[in-house]
Amino acid sequence: MKHEPVGVRFMLLQQVTNGLLLGGIYALVALSFSLTIGILNFLNFSIPALFMLGGVVSCALLAKGFGIGLAVLVALVVTGFVSLVIERFTFRWLKNSDSHIPLVSSLGFLILFENLVLIYFGSDAVGYPSPFGGASVRVEHMLISLPRLASFAISLVLIVACYLVITRTKLGRGLRSIAESSIVSEMLGVDVGRTVSGMYLISGLLAGMGGVLFGISYLQVSWDMGSEVALKGISAMVLGGMGNIWGALLGALIIAVVEVLTISYVSSEAVNVVVYSVLLVLILVMPNGLLGDRAILVERM
């Protein structure tokens, strides 16, 4: 793009668009983190592993010649199932323990899955055999990648769906009551075990879908693809407000745009300085984030 005589404005517009499209995937990861923090006050470090599994499993199936629909379906079944297994080890069987314990267990799962994938896939990034390839359209002077645009749209739909589940369904009502107080909601007849399982399932599917969309959009997966995206997701979640669904989306879009603009106007090494400085300052100055934390989960009780 730089060599085309379209002027600085279009390059800026192009980069902002690229950033926004990347932000959709960050938003899924941020929301996945945000749900477990908002409801259980637990930073689930196995989310990067679920993200990675989503990408790697679908990639392996595509490479074996299966269709994209089946590959995505199997990837989501795997991440959903793994997330439910993780729920057993980080919540159900651990009741009444110190708050660090689930976090450490989830780290154990991260180490476990990353290394399992490392054994089977090797340490190099693998090309993602997406049937859509790198198709793109030209709008005005901008080049827009179609898979990324579609991924962004799917992310938005999933976030809205998640919002509706939390605010409109019985499961969501149960989750919001657990966010308020797990003990009281159990006394009032909420099946805490099943409700929390539902939340792990949602959070696992969001992360897994994020991984699939990442593969389709950027045509590469690797065993450590989750960690970097997860750190951005955590930053996005804090920026928007922990436990706040729209906050995760807003934060993710801002973080992704800042990241892409920093890469193109400063340098790729400066990205982490900027993103994490923003995060550090925010958490010290306005820990509730831009939209307020846990607001949507607790406010409508």
Partner 1 sequence: MSGYATQIAAILIVNIVAAYAAYMPLACGQLNLGTAGFMAIGGYASAVLSAHGLGLLVSILGGAAAATVAGLLVSIPVLRARGIYLTIATLAFSEVIAAILLNVDSLGGASGLVVNDHIGVGPMLVAMTIVLIVVAWFSRTRFGLCLTAVRNDGRGTAVFGVSVRRVEVSALTIGAGFAGVAGAIYAHQFNYLEAQHFNVLLSTYAVLFALLGGLQTPLGPLIGALVFTLVPELLRSTDQWRYVGFGVCIILLMLLRPEGLLTRQLIHRLPRWKTA
Which spans of this chain sit near partner 1 (rule: CB under 8 A)? 37, 41-43, 89, 93-94, 97-105, 107-113, 115-116, 118-119, 227, 231, 234-235, 238, 242, 269-273, 276-277, 279-280, 283-284, 287
* Minimum separation from the CB atom of position 209 to partner 1 (A): 24
Q: Which is nearer to partner 1, 118 or 157 (CB)?
A: 118
Shortest Å distance, C-beta 237 to partner 1: 9
User: Would you say 111 or 161 has its CB closer to partner 1?
Assistant: 111
- Choice between 7 and 287, CB closer to partner 1: 287
Nearest to 50 by CA among 77, 21, 13, 89: 77
At closest approach, how far in Å is the CB of 43 from partner 1? 5
Q: How far is the CB of 90 from partner 1 (least distance, A)?
A: 8
> Of 45 and 152, which CB lies nearer to partner 1 in the complex structure?
45
Query: What distance separates the 2 farthest-apart alpha carbons in the chain?
Result: 67
CA distance 185 to 170: 13
Minimum gap (Å) between residue 143 Cβ and partner 1: 30
Q: Which is nearer to partner 1, 66 or 121 (CB)?
A: 121
CB 240 within 8 A of CB 289: yes
Residue 222 Ramachandran class (φ > 0 left, ψ -120 to 50 alpha, else beta): beta
